[in-house]
Amino acid sequence: MKKAYVFPGQGAQFIGMGKELYDTNEDSKAIFDKADEILGYSISEIMFSGTDEQLKQTKVTQPAIFIHSIAAQVALGEDFNPDMVAGHSLGEFSALVASGALDFKSALKLVEQRALAMQAACEIEPSTMAAVLGLDDSVVEGICSKISEVVVPANYNCPGQLVISGSIAGIEEACEKLTEAGARRALKLPVGGAFHSPLMEPAKERLAAAIENTAFNNPTCPIYQNVTASGVSDKDKIKSNLIAQLTAPVKWTQSVQSMISDGATEFVELGPGKVLQGLVRKINREVATS
């Protein structure tokens, strides 16, 4: 009987996120106040009462989700005793703080750098992502591999749900071919770039330098990283996996399966929304989620 804590990534944000935690828990309030101080502007104000336009900027979205997740974690106090942790894409940074591999300030600065680097990479070449529903992973992989433009699997979210990433022309061609192959849906996503694809190489290089210059610790419990989908407890491996993550696919289905194989019977999502709870249930209906 092991408990896994999981942390969401970009897309889970909403106006008002974290306000209740701020108002009701002193430890959570301290996290928001500290984040405002570190970033040099009131991100909490945007989170609580800003506009959708402000919040959906990558440079705001990513720190906001990370801050909310850690505020939710500290609110648990001594009740937070993870046997294992994992985060979806950006959520991996939240998982690293929760497991003691990174301190909050260092992680927030890395998240800010990651967001800025990804935004800059998006401006170099127009690119996008699409959600593909109702096809086996192998079929999607095969179709992507035959397209001359850059198109790659980016997020293995759950069986029958795979997000692809690439150039705009490549994604449009892939969506047509995937629909012809029987996909229930092949839907372009409202994102500004091809995350978790080779088009993020400029962002990876920029983030790698920041990660190499940041002090990491060995975590207090294994972290199941997106790149390997297996539990990692060595700080040097964690760093190299974190750098590789920007251009490699998020193996979420495989990570959850690995955690279950290693004894996880309950998954608790910390952060805005309930997206990961839904994905975990689609991966395995036998485990408890909250």
The residues assigned a catalytic role are: 89, 196
* Pick from 153, 170, 162: nearest CA to 186: 162
| Joined tokens for residue 152 | 């790659």
What is the rounded CA–CA span in Å between residue 147 and residue 152? 9
What is the rounded CA–CA span in Å between residue 284 and residue 288? 9
What is the rounded CA–CA span in Å between residue 167 and residue 172? 9
State whether the Cα torsion 88-94-95-96 is positive or negative. Answer: positive
What is the rounded CA–CA span in Å between residue 110 and residue 214? 8
What is the rounded CA–CA span in Å between residue 135 and residue 152? 15
What is the rounded CA–CA span in Å between residue 164 and residue 142? 12
Task: Name beta bridge partners: 251.
Answer: none
Contact present, 82 and 4 (Cβ < 8 Å): yes
Q: Judging by DSSP bridges, how do beta strands 185-188 and 127-133 pair with one another? A: antiparallel
| Joined tokens for residue 59 | 């440079």
CA angle 3, 236, 241 (to 5 degrees): 70
118-135 per-residue burial string, b: 16 or more CB within 10 A, e: under 16: bbebbeeeebbbbbbeeb
